Every structure is written in structure tokens, then in C-alpha cells.
Amino acid sequence: MLLSLFSSSVTNCALISSLLLTPRRTSPASPFFLRKVITRAISFCITTSTMSVNLQAHAFAGNPLRSTIPKPGDPFSPSSALETLRSRLMESTSSNQLISPSFQVLPFRKGRPLASSVDGDGGDASEPNWHLGWIGLADCRGYLAKSGVELTAESLVFLGFMPDEDVVYWAIDVSSENSLVPELGGKRLCFVELRTLMVAADWTDDRAMADLAIAGHARALLEWHKLSRFCGSCGANTVPAEAGRRKQCSNETCKARVYPRIDPPGESLEEAVRRETFEEAGIEVGEVVYHSSQPWPVGPNSMPCQLMVGFFAYAKTLEINVDKTELEDAEWHSREEVQKALSLAEYKKAHTTAAAKVEQMCKGVEKGQSLSADFNVESGELAPMFFPGPFAIAHHLISSWVNGKSTIGVGGRQPSTSLSNL
Ligand SMILES: [Zn+2]
């Protein structure tokens, strides 16, 4: 069966991904396809080293705060949490830590997260363990007040929340407050280099690795905020938006949106595939298999240069629950239906139209017309099921699945033996 997702716009996308989903539990005769759009930036690293530890994820991946980003309206969503944060900061009492949800803040100084260290459990082989130095909102405000600085909602960056906890987590850059003394109730706290924490982390300790991922994401996000203070389009100041998840140009005639691109880690590509697929299509995804990537310098004006990354993925559930703010629709289709749709080759018509348009423009027949605005090669108006042409990675994902082999790839290699099982 084929699942097609229709997205009306890819605006705001820092990275676009196409997926092929196949239910693991069904026969090879009934795989299905999903094309979707990932709406946030992702970074990843490749390692060729071998490890004796059976890790669940790479260092800095597996951030539990990012496993789910709640929808607007949810008290744990960035927008709702920001509104609550603003109201809390307007209150004069320091007892608001008892109010649901509670807020925890991780301060950073010059890229170093606040951390604490506790002794091991006493055994000869025990080692001290470090933990992130989370502080409550009232304490954070108190620290800054000692330096004569008022804590504002705009100075805090949303990190996420922990499932099953009533806590929203934030980060703040206090690099400019050199007089801050990070002491809290006798607890020894200090700002520690992230690389030091990385080496000091017990790779077999899930909590330590989770803390490392959280700190890595927070640091990258704060660094990005520091380096994106001005609009690259008009030069005006940028201001935080969506609880610090993006920035926006303060120039009313510009209003350019600025998103983190490759910088913020915090989840792997595979994690992003699973999270976004569930958030926008309601489908749980298990195994994720990389197919290929494609530079995409023809995105919308707000984000013209993107990286398309294509995956095959095995669905664990079949029920579709479409997020209508992200996608227009989603449907399942059989392989035969997909083959038929591909044979219609409507994109060939678009190609012919575009070629003729270019020729006319070159001859001066249609001066001043915008080529990109003249036709929409992804409109799908002429076909019951429409796929982008060979210019798009989605086309190759679909073709790969229909034909049972890759239609593109580095050096002509098959992307994965798993492909034959789809
Ligand atoms: Zn601007």
C-alpha cells in the first residue's frame, strides 16, 4: 500500500526529508510509501570507529527533551510554555516553582553548561558522576538580580520537556554576567567545558548520556542565537520567536524568519524521522534506512537553501492521523496504483512546458516574467496521483520502491540490502 502525504507548503523547512514506509509485519507484496516534510534543522555525524559498548545512540543524540514537541495549546508546547513563563516572571513571589508546570533552567557561560559533581557509590571502582546544574526559575532570577539584570522571557530558550514529568526545561546564556557565583544551597556547581563532560560521561549510563545530549543541544541553540543577532537579508536586529526555537527580523518590511540550520544537534536523523512522522502522520516508525541526499537550493524565499535527505522506514502502525497544519492529507495506495501513477508521467508535461517557457523568455517574448512563478511542476492538477519529477528526491524514492531497486545513488550502489525487502 502507498501512503501519500500532501503538503501545501514547505515554508519554514530547514531540512526536507522523504520517507518510504513499509510495515515490517506484512508481506513484501504490500509495502507502502510515505512522503513527508521535516520541519526543523538536523545535524548528524558519521563515525567509523568501533566501540565495545553497545550504545543506543551516538553521543549528543538521544535527547529525551526532544523526543516529542507538543502541539500549540498543549501546556508543554513552546508557545504555551512561553506564555506561562511570562506570567511567572511578572509575579513577585518566589513560590511559583510549586505551580504546574514547573520550570528548570540550565545556565551556560561561554559555551559551558552549569554542572555539579557527586561522589560515586563508594566502591573502589566508583567514579564521581556529573549532572547538569538545573536551577529553578526563582533562583535564576535571583542570580541575575544580584548582577542588576532582570530575567526576561526572551533571554530563555525552550529546550523541551521530559515525558511523564511536569517540568519544562530552558537554557540561558549568562556569559555577560561574570560576577555570577553559581552556588545553590551548598550544592557545588561550576561551569564545565562540554568536551570535558563528554569524556567524563559514563557511556553505559543512560542518564549521563541523556544529560550530555541535552547540554549539547542547549549549547548549540544558544550559540546559534549569539551568531544570528542580525538579519542576513536587511541587517536589522533579529528577535527570538517561538520560545527561542527560531528568530525573526525586527524590520516590519522584512520580517525574515531565521531558523537553526545544521547547528543544533540533539537528535539523530533517524530520531527526527520517527518523531516527525509520528507528529505529522500519526504513524509509528521503527527501522529507518538511509537512501540518499540532495542539495535543494530552490526552496521558498524564507529558506532557499536546504538539504533533502531520503529514507526508507518501516512502519509499526498503519493508522493515519494527519496534522492538518503541516500536511494537507495522507493516503495509502498499492504498489500497482503507484506504478500506474508513475506511468502517467505528468512531470514530462511540466518539463516540456518549462522548456518552452525558457525558450520564449530567451527570445524576449515574455520579458520580465518569473519562471518559477509561471508554472507549478508539483501542482498535480492533471493526475489522480502526482509525484514530483526526476528533479526531486521523492521521485527516486518512489521509483526505488516501485522497481525494487535504487534509481539513484553514489557510484550506482544499492543504498541498502533492506531495499529488496520493501
Ligand atoms: Zn530583515
pLDDT, tens only, 65-77:
876 777 778 888 8
Distance, in Å, from the CA atom of 113 to the CA atom of 182, rounded to the nearest integer, reads: 11
Q: How confident is the model at residue 379 (pLDDT cuts 50, 70, 90)?
A: very low
- State how many domains the chain has: 2
If you measure from the C-alpha of residue 258 to the centroid of ligand 1, how many angstroms do you get, rounded to a whole number? 9
Q: Is 38 part of a structural domain of the chain?
A: no
- Cα angle 97, 99, 103; round to 5: 50
If you measure from the C-alpha of residue 242 to the centroid of ligand 1, how many angstroms do you get, rounded to a whole number? 17
Domain containing 355: what range? 339-421
| Final residue belonging to a domain, choices 262, 296, 328 | 262
pLDDT, position 394:
85
| Final residue belonging to a domain, choices 246, 262, 278 | 262
Question: Which run of H or E residues covers position 200?
Answer: helix 194-200
If you measure from the C-alpha of residue 117 to the centroid of ligand 1, how many angstroms do you get, rounded to a whole number? 44
Query: Lowest-pLDDT range, 20-34, 64-78, 295-309?
Result: 20-34
Q: What is the mean pLDDT of residues 34-44?
A: 32
Same domain, 69 and 198: yes
Q: What is the b/e burial string over 90-101, where b = at least 16 CB atoms within 10 angstroms of the residue's CB? A: eeeeeebeeeee
Range among 59-73, 147-161, 293-307, 390-404 rated most confident: 147-161
pLDDT > 90: what percent of the chain? 19
Tell how strand 102-109 and strand 15-21 pair up.
Answer: unpaired
pLDDT, position 69:
73
If you measure from the C-alpha of residue 240 to the centroid of ligand 1, how many angstroms do you get, rounded to a whole number? 13
- Coil, strand, or helix at residue 123? coil
Rg of the chain over all Cα atoms, to the nearest angstrom: 24
If you measure from the C-alpha of residue 232 to the centroid of ligand 1, how many angstroms do you get, rounded to a whole number? 7
Q: How confident is the model at residue 237 (pLDDT cuts 50, 70, 90)?
A: very high
pLDDT above 80: residue 245: yes
Q: Is 283 part of a structural domain of the chain?
A: no
Closest CA to 78 of 323, 262, 246: 246
Provide the CA 3 distance to its chain's centre, in angstroms: 22
The residues facing 262 across adjacent strands are none
- Coil, strand, or helix at residue 395? helix
Q: Is 80 part of a structural domain of the chain?
A: yes
Same domain, 257 and 140: yes
If you measure from the C-alpha of residue 228 to the centroid of ligand 1, how many angstroms do you get, rounded to a whole number? 12
pLDDT above 70: residue 24: no
Same domain, 181 and 68: yes
Cell of 222: 544558544
If you measure from the C-alpha of residue 85 to the centroid of ligand 1, how many angstroms do you get, rounded to a whole number? 27
Query: Lowest-pLDDT range, 164-178, 319-333, 397-411?
Result: 397-411
Provide the CA 76 distance to its chain's centre, in angstroms: 17
Same domain, 235 and 98: yes
pLDDT, position 266:
64
| Contacts for 36 with CB less than 8 Å, ≥ 6 apart | 5, 7, 17, 18, 19, 276, 277, 280, 281, 327
| Final residue belonging to a domain, choices 206, 238, 262 | 262
Distance, in Å, from the CA atom of 33 to the CA atom of 122, rounded to the nearest integer, reads: 54
If you measure from the C-alpha of residue 233 to the centroid of ligand 1, how many angstroms do you get, rounded to a whole number? 5
Q: What is the mean pLDDT of residues 359-374?
A: 62
If you measure from the C-alpha of residue 387 to the centroid of ligand 1, how many angstroms do you get, rounded to a whole number? 35
pLDDT above 90: residue 251: yes
The residues facing 258 across adjacent strands are 247
Any alpha helices (H) in 114-183, and if so which ranges? 137-146
- Which one is predicted more confidently, 234 or 127? 234
Question: Which run of H or E residues covers position 197?
Answer: helix 194-200
